[in-house]
Amino acid sequence: MEMEVGRRLWLLMSRLVFLLFVFFATSSSAQHRAVTAPGFLYTRTRGRCTPQYWSSRTESWPKMVPQMSTVSKVFGSRAFERYRYDLTLLEAAGRNDDGDNVFAWLVKESTAALLNSYARKGYPYAAWEVKTLVIQALVSKEAASLQAHQFSEANQNCTGY
């Protein structure tokens, strides 16, 4: 009888150790997931308003903004002074040279902002506001950087519907 009690106690302890192991293993992986970058599903649902989305989903473009429209025709003559005369909105959305060049970042984010203003209900900027703000931001690097940042924030926080 004493042997059976000892065996039951050992079995109970081994189960307890196993449950504790499982508990701590899952809680540490949950903490690790919370610290690391978001997964594919998370970025996919949040990225429906970004320049990357618009450059790769051309079938979603609003009809009011043809993909082959040039930046200078859409944003005006001041844009013509800063960008190539034949730079299209599709090319602007897909740019990847915006690391050190604030004007490249501005045209990339403002293209997405313009498309979002037509395609997304509740987007914080109307199309005329995007165009006006771009023209105003083209006067200096500081203004361009500030406006690109504001458009980037709006694009990243957009719900995409």
pLDDT at 136: 95
**Distances in Å between the alpha carbon of 63 and those of 69, 115, 125, 128, 152?**
11, 10, 18, 16, 23
Selection from 118, 117, 119 nearest residue 151 by Cα: 117
pLDDT above 90: residue 116: yes
Instruction: Name the token pair of 136.
Output: 């105003």
pLDDT at 138: 94
* Domain ranges within the chain, ordered by starting residue: 1-36, 40-157
Q: What is the pLDDT of residues 10-58, one digit of tens each?
A: 776 777 777 667 777 665 555 544 444 444 444 444 478 899 889 888 8
pLDDT above 80: residue 3: no
Output the pTM of the full model. Answer: 0.69
Question: How many Å apart are CA 21 and CA 75, to the nearest integer?
Answer: 60
CB 133 within 8 A of CB 144: no
